[in-house]
Amino acid sequence: MTVTAVSPAISAPARLWSGFRSLPLAMRCGMAILALHVFVAMLGLLWTPYPYDAIGTGVGATGMSWQHPFGLDQLGRDVLSRVMYASHIVLYMGLLGTLFGMFFGTILGLLSALIGGWFDAILQRFFEAMISIPFLILGLIAISAAGPRLASNPTLIALVVGIVFLPRVARIARAAGLQVVTRDYVTAARLRGESYPAIVLQEVLPNCAGPLLVELALRAGYAPVLIGSFGFLGFGVRAPMPEWGLMLSENRDLIMITPITTIGPGLALATLVFGLNLFTDGLARYLDRAGLTTAR
Amino acid sequence: MVGKLILTRILYAVLTLLAVSVVVFAAVEILPGDITTRILGRSATPEAVAVLRKQLGYDQPAVMRYANWLGGVLQGDLGTSLSSQRSVNEVIGPRLANTAILALCAFVLSVPLSLLPAAAQALKPGSLLDTIASAINFVLLAIPDYLLASIMLILFVVVIPVLPSTSLVTDASGFWDWVRALILPSVVLAISISIYAIRLLRDGLIDVLSRDYVRMAELKGMPLRVVLWRHAFPNAIGPTLNITALNISYLIGGVIIVERVFSFPGFGSVMVGALQAGDAPLIEATVLIAALIYITANTLADIGSILTNPKLRSAQ
């Protein structure tokens, strides 16, 4: 890694701007889309055209109009307001779930690589079993196991997303960790008698950052899709709380009358995933260019 | 040598399946609410509850119950569904057959849907066609299957009303009912599989096409078509096998969603219903079957690539 000296004459915003300019185009476009999503999410939290759960704000199951650009659902709730209010719920669940899965997956994967032996063998069998259950099914089981009282809680949904991601992240982290643990600096740390957690945090983790960052972005892009599938199947957050997948299923029966009520939430979901995918694609390219994708 | 490698792989698969059975049993065990109150209702007398617990074997410790359950599963007996009081085999059997038909249609459709664009792109990487196809692929990648299903519904049921919006089939359904019912769900599944497969196949083909033996065949003056089908594709088959296995795991998840959207009476809807009803034996059976399919597909793909890859054959 080279550190470029920056002359103090250049102001901080200008430096940030030039740093931003040097990123791959895909990443910049992705960041712009994500910024828009964050803005809408914050706006939706503070203000929506109508309250998200207000019933009968117009004639139910009607299409596009100036008052209701995304139409009205069966109960006469304004779909645009619901899409906007759902934004922060989806972002919260997606982000928390991804971070949870990344955090524990990374720690367990790297420890597995570092400790090896029976610890590694048992953990790998266990993760292998979890991966053999298709992720949607694994998620649905976890939600059912939590019980009806907790089921519609956004934090619980986020934790389930994390549990589904965990074994997959652990596998990537372990593979990246295995390339690092034989290096001299790790051996030196071992000989110094440092504890496993300390070695993982100080020696192994920083040298596996590249692949793990890409994994983080990849998982973040998949989280809204998974959350949407839970909602769509009726296992996610419950009405009146809005969530895009749930809304797609709520308005499925209206598809013959007002297709716009499903296009609205669909558009929100697709653009978020598209932005995250663009960002991931750009990030992978950027790290590749910087030679950071393989563990050093 | 090869035999030993394959045998190890199979042993691995069996161990993993065993681990899945433990995970599933444990997860279902901690399902909330007492199983007996779920059957008898809250107003049941303690005596009735005790009798039922004994009847279901719930007075035994979990380890014993697991052993009994596993013993039954190994003999092909998946238990009795709590909600319908019918044997699980009876409940799942016909639904599994329905889903197998759906999955097969989707799979057959996905072969040309993924091979043709991938081949067209790989022949001229960097061309306008390649760039446009990649861009379309990237956009489609952001559309989850349930959204794709909604879009297809809008297109072919609302805008161009040619297809039915639900795919309910019964024993009485004739051949053409089946065809009409299967078109939308299988196309949705096929597209969502192909989106992933195209990217991987394109990269794999580009790699193979740059190899010396392909160059040689080209220089001999062989027609491009022959080079592609006789030299390039067979060598891209190893990775393709793995993609196929990946697709099957994706199919299992996708089937659940698609069956819900189109109200198709299949395996996925049984599973969702079982989860909603807390029907423990049915949940355990469906998840185990899904995992079995996934693990079998993966193991077969691995064995396939061991057999087709001479390097892997001699490595151990």
Which chain A residues touch B33 with a CB distance below 8 Å?
147
| pTM of the predicted model over 0.80 | yes
- Hey, of A126, A128, A133, A279, which one would you mutate to test binding to chain B, going by the most B CBs within 10 A of its CB? A133
The mean pLDDT of chain B is 83
User: Per-residue pLDDT tens for B157-188?
Assistant: 888 887 887 777 777 777 888 888 899 999 99
Residues of B176-192 as b/e, b for ≥16 C-beta within 10 angstroms? eebeebbbbbbbbbbbb
Instruction: Confirm or reject contact between B166 and chain A (CB < 8 A).
Output: no
d(C-alpha A183, C-alpha A203), whole Å: 10
Instruction: Confirm or reject contact between B87 and chain A (CB < 8 A).
Output: no
User: Per-residue pLDDT tens for B44-91?
Assistant: 777 777 777 777 777 777 788 888 888 888 888 888 887 788 888 898
Average pLDDT over residues B114-128: 87
Instruction: Confirm or reject contact between A212 and chain B (CB < 8 A).
Output: no
DSSP B159: I
Q: Domains of chain A, with CATH numbers? A: 25-289 (1.10.3720.10)
Instruction: Confirm or reject contact between B157 and chain A (CB < 8 A).
Output: yes
What is the distance of C-alpha B57 from the center of its chain? 33
Task: List all residues of chain B from 182 to 241 with a beta carbon under 8 Å from chain A.
Answer: none
**Domain limits, chain B:** 93-314
Which chain B residues touch A144 with a CB distance below 8 Å?
31, 275-276, 278, 283
- Percent above pLDDT 70 for chain A: 95
d(C-alpha B136, C-alpha B166), whole Å: 28
Cβ distance B146 to A235 less than 8 Å, yes or no, reads no
Q: What integer pLDDT is reported at residue A21 of this predicted model?
A: 83
d(C-alpha A37, C-alpha A29), whole Å: 13
CA distance B243 to chain A (A): 15
Which chain B residues touch A259 with a CB distance below 8 Å?
154, 158
Q: Which of B81, B113, B2 lies closest to B275 in space, CA to CA?
A: B81
Question: Sign of dihedral through CA atoms B196, B199, B205, B208?
Answer: negative
Q: Report residue B6's pLDDT band, with 50, 70 and 90 as the boundaries.
A: confident
User: Per-residue pLDDT tens for A1-42?
Assistant: 455 555 556 778 888 888 888 888 889 999 999 999 999 999
d(C-alpha B38, C-alpha A203), whole Å: 52
Q: Which amino acid appears at position B264 of this protein?
A: F
Instruction: Fold for B93-314, please state it.
Output: MetI-like fold (1.10.3720)
d(C-alpha A276, C-alpha A255), whole Å: 28
Q: Which amino acid appears at position A295 of this protein?
A: A
